[in-house]
Chain A
Amino acid sequence: MDTVAKLNFRRKKAGLPLIRFDLTRLNPDDIQDLRDAYAAMYEISEIAVGDNRGYQALARGHGYDLDLCHDDNRIFLTWHRSYLYSFEKALNTALQWKRDDDELELTLPFWDWTTQKAATHASNGLPRVVDAPTYENEAGDTVPNPLASAPSLYREISQGLSGDERFTQRFPSSFRDVIPQLRDDVERHMDNPNYMRFQEDFDFGAHGTVHVRVGGLGDSPLPNGIGDMMSIGSAAYDPIFWLHHCQCDKVWFDWQALHPGANVPEFVLDAVVYDGRAGRDLVDAETSLRYIYSEDSVEAAVAATGTTDSAPAGNLSAAANPAKEIQLGTVEGGFVRAQLDFYSLRPPKDSYEIRAYIANPNCTEKTGYKHESFSGRLVLFGHGQCHGAPGHCNPKYYRRDEYDIRSKHPLRHAHTRYTIDMTRGIRRYIGRKKSVKNLKIYLLVVDGTGKAVSPESVQYDGCSLRTFAKK
């Protein structure tokens, strides 16, 4: 049976929108994926708190200490849709990293807080999979449940808490009582045809009620004894925050289906929200963000998706060409420019110089620039040591496509062209001949001290010579 992450990867390959499912309809393997993905995000932040793939980096954007969420209630829906999207992609990136499997597309499930069932919910009204403080893993060990509690930067830095007090808490003793009211609220919201009125009533109605009732009051070291969900500054550190907001996003998604002609004000469309996305790029989630919601089981969605995935995903980061010798074949003269293009060259941590020599297999760092075989060089200004957790600087985990429109990897290897201008060197080598056959060049990698190092110090998928003819 496919997991949600595998199913969605197949859907992506087939060009279909990804599906967000009901939390309480997920299979055990999906719950495990979700737990592992959250745990991986925590791990990334524990290793390097500033790593933007980590849990703390995402959670702090809501309230503490960035306060990005609550500066304008008019963009409540678009802001949170964008925020949730970024979190969902980070969650998948973390799972890919942990499993070392890039054929996963994990989506966030929604927590439908309008229902409670004995089979899936705890007596307090919360789904058991997020309420239970521990669970039994595959090895049979009882371990902390990553969906029940998370370390919080707000608690640690703003409140000066440490040890167990770093972790989020909930006191949902009065939550179950409001479930019928939440159901009634959502039905009422659905009937409201006006976008702004729908948004306001929902924001300050059902949405806020869940925060207040799930957070609750109890034996908490936070001011006034609140649970983390109860205030904007601390809420996003609670793992349930994201599942709650996924439901909020679904309510809007469903409302949009009921009111397809609803007018969204221009300032909502123009307003730039979390991660730099404009409101107009968030309104149509299926088209712009490539996801939909389903209340069906995962099995039903698998059946509906069919088997369109026969071709496995292509590996975009093919093995680097280790060859120091580059065979360029026949090169004709008469060009106005000749350049050696590197494909997907990974920006290195340290600074290097790549020197190109023609037909000189014995070149060393002492050969220098004045030797007749020298034909050009490329200087790479290193970006320094990685300050993130493992994988932070690996562009493999930062692939972007129409299913992931987060900002590009800062080391944009796929979009930066690295070339060596070899015009003079090859002209000199060709001389008066019309062309040369089997042209070989030798790339020497030199470090910052001028010493030749392994060609593997600089990684790239390949390189080729490009010549430009006279117009």
Chain B
Amino acid sequence: MIETVLLWLFAGTALVAACLMLVLRHPMRVALALIATMLSLAGVYALLGVHVIAIFQVLIYVGAVMVFMVYAIMLLDVRDRSFVRRFSPLLVPGVLATVVLLGILALALWRTLPAPGVAGTAGQVFSLQRFSVTFLNEFWLHFEIVSVLLVAAVVAALAVLEIGRRYRG
């Protein structure tokens, strides 16, 4: 019972913080709202029994990605037109399109989701050992492709740095 209440509480917090991201003016507040969403989702993952992903969510997303983002926001405190006028001219069509998209997705999900009560056994399934064995036995190719992606990202970041240096010089 308490788990269900906490699950709804965390999920509701995530949704409210995501809505706040759309209306807040300063990028730093938007970043804090996103961090609240991510922490709430980590709570949801922990309640679902997927502790590995909950820890990674806090460590990688909040600890690395968002710290980098906050650093960039503090570096670039440009109060330009985007600070005065938050929304682009696509506000009304964007909202309408999102409502239509939400309706279509809700209809599709309502028809195809399995009936309640067939949930798998959580908890033991996502032990770190099982996760690691599955990862390196079945998904080794994906692991290698991701490492190639990381190397490409490092090279791309260095290239961007070089372009910036040339532009300054």
- A and B interact physically: no
